[in-house]
Amino acid sequence: MLQANEIETAETRSGEEILARYRAAGHVTVPDVFPPEMMRTAIADAMAWSDDFLAAMTPEKRAWYVDGAAAPGPASGAAQAAVLRKLDNPHVHRPAFGALAAHPPLVAQVEALIGRGVSVYFSQIFFKPPHGGGPKPVHQDNFYFGPADPDGMVTAWVALEDADLENGCLHYAEGSHLAGVVPHEAPAERPFDLQIPAELAARRAMTPAPVPAGGVSFHHGGTWHQSADNASNRWRRACALHYVRNGNAFETPALPYDHSLVVKITG
């Protein structure tokens, strides 16, 4: 069970207020970054890609990409369908997501947080189907990526549809980016699922960050965060775009990231 602090709301704030909150809390939620039609296009494209990916998937890839969660069965009433947990690097592979990554209001906000001249280092679509999609344990993105400059990395978590407490929105530990990166561990059967040890993670209360469709939850690479499973009868699909300030080096990545897929957006 997640401990709940105050809820982070998607308020309309001035640029100074957004920056001040990001620096103090390590995260901030901004509504209305994308118009509804861009979100609808992205969802349709994510589902088409997911169908193709599942059809072509090798058994070795199943543990990484499939959650084992239930999706609503096909109309025939056949057994539960496999649902992807995530898909990697849509900003490279899918033009609809490349357009999200280069959307001027988003890029302006990213540059206001980490400075001018940015690239997308990595990106992920996260699928949480109705009554499924397992939890993502507490972790820090900077442990995964290992940037030389910890402040030169920000994740823009784009809510393709409403994300709330019921369907598995993100939760953050306030100010946790100020204390640096802590060691992570992974279950033996899920070596990619790096996370802060449960007894350490339990020491910090987590703030839920519901995001309306088209809004973005920005988090510093050092901010502890997690998501719960989807307890609702709605989907929760989101795209995490991990931006880096140009020139930031990645010296200690915990997983292999393909640097040929880094896409310069500005400068």
Ligand X SMILES: O=C(O)CCC(=O)C(=O)O
Residue ranges binding ligand X (CB under 6 A): 126, 136, 141, 155, 157, 225, 227, 238, 240
Beta strands in the chain (DSSP E): 27-30, 86-88, 118-128, 136-139, 153-159, 170-172, 207-209, 216-220, 225-227, 236-245, 263-264
- Closer Cβ to ligand X, 59 or 211, answer by number: 211
CA distance 177 to 239: 21
What whole-number distance in Å separates Cα of residue 265 and Cα of residue 267? 7
Least CB distance from residue 73 to ligand X, whole Å?
Answer: 23
Please, which residue, 192 or 267, has the CB nearer to ligand X? Answer: 192
CB of 150 to ligand X, least distance (A): 15
Specify whether the CB–CB gap between 94 and 160 falls below 8 A.
no
Instruction: Tell me how many degrees the CA angle 105-163-19 measures, rounded to the nearest 5.
Output: 40
Q: Which two tokens stand for residue 241?
A: 């775009």
CB 226 within 8 A of CB 137: yes
> What contacts 43, CB < 8 A, 6 or more positions away?
160, 161, 237
We find the least distance from the C-beta atom of residue 131 to ligand X, in angstroms, to be 15
Any idea which residue has 């997640």 for tokens? 2
Smallest gap from Cβ 170 to ligand X, in A, equals 6
Contacts for 14-17: CB closer than 8 Å, 24+ residues apart: 15/112
For ligand X, the closer CB: 74 or 239: 239
Could you tell me the smallest distance in angstroms from the CB atom of residue 211 to ligand X?
10
CB of 142 to ligand X, least distance (A): 10
In the bound state with ligand X, the residue whose beta carbon lies nearer, of 45 and 55, is: 45
Tokens of 265: 């957006």
